[in-house]
Amino acid sequence: MKLATGLLAAVLLLIGMAPGHAVVRIADDRGGRIGTYVDKYQGLRSSGEAVIIDGLCASACTIVLGAIPRDRICVTSHATLGFHAAWDFGANGRAITNPEATQMLYSMYPSSVKHWINARGGLTPHMIFLRGKELQALFKPCYLDAQASATKTPAPAPALAPAAAAAVSHAAASAAISH
């Protein structure tokens, strides 16, 4: 029992979250309406939950960067953020840039993200992607990849390895809730 408790505490420390806090995992989120995401992330901010970005978070999904305190966000090596100008459907049904909504979206981002966007020409109709070392320089890494590797590496005491691996896998699965 002490081993399982110790492993759970180690997993929580590895991803930088305090025990007792739930974790929301973002992956494959292509975005949507800005208002929907503002409401969603206001609730998430109030809940105290931490956020793991572990895949694509594009368009309105990126509002999470300004809505959730930086110390409650971490990114994995799989994380990719996609940014573009906000748009609406025009009279002919085609997408047209909405300057006011674009400015509102831009204003929500932390200054480091704004600088990154500006260095690439600002928010335009064309998606720009922040990932890899550039992203991990702006947000703390989660180290989920290290956890997955650690569970595959045999432990020196073979009798404990399956139980330890199961405890770590269960703890990681419990912590990473897909939204």
Indicate the Cα dihedral angle 23, 27, 30, 31, nearest 10°: 0
177-178 vs 23-26, strand pairing mode: parallel
Question: Which of 82, 125, 122, 85 has the alpha carbon at shortest distance from 104?
Answer: 85
The Cα–Cα gap between 67 and 19 comes to 22
In this prediction, residue 136 has a pLDDT band, given cuts at 50, 70 and 90, of very high
First to last CA, the chain: 31
- The confidence score (pLDDT) of residue 144 equals 60
Q: Which residue has the tokens 């081993």?
A: 3
pLDDT value for 179: 38
31, two tokens = 């975005």
pTM: 0.69
Residues 6+ apart with CB under 8 A from 177: 22, 23, 24, 25
Instruction: Give the pLDDT band of residue 178 (cuts 50, 70, 90).
Output: very low
> Are residues 41 and 67 in contact, defined by beta-carbon separation less than 8 angstroms?
yes
Per residue in 62-107, pLDDT (tens digit) is 999 999 999 999 999 999 999 999 999 888 889 999 999 999 999 9
- The top-level CATH class assigned to 17-141 is alpha beta
Nearest to 75 by CA among 40, 120, 27: 27
pLDDT in tens, 16-48: 444 446 899 999 999 999 999 999 999 999 999
Strands (E), 16-127: 23-26, 50-53, 56-58, 73-75, 80-83, 87-89, 95-97
CA distance 129 to 132: 10
User: Where along the chain do its domains lie?
Assistant: 17-141
Three-state DSSP at 85 gives coil
Cα–Cα distance for residue pair 8/1, rounded to 1 Å: 11
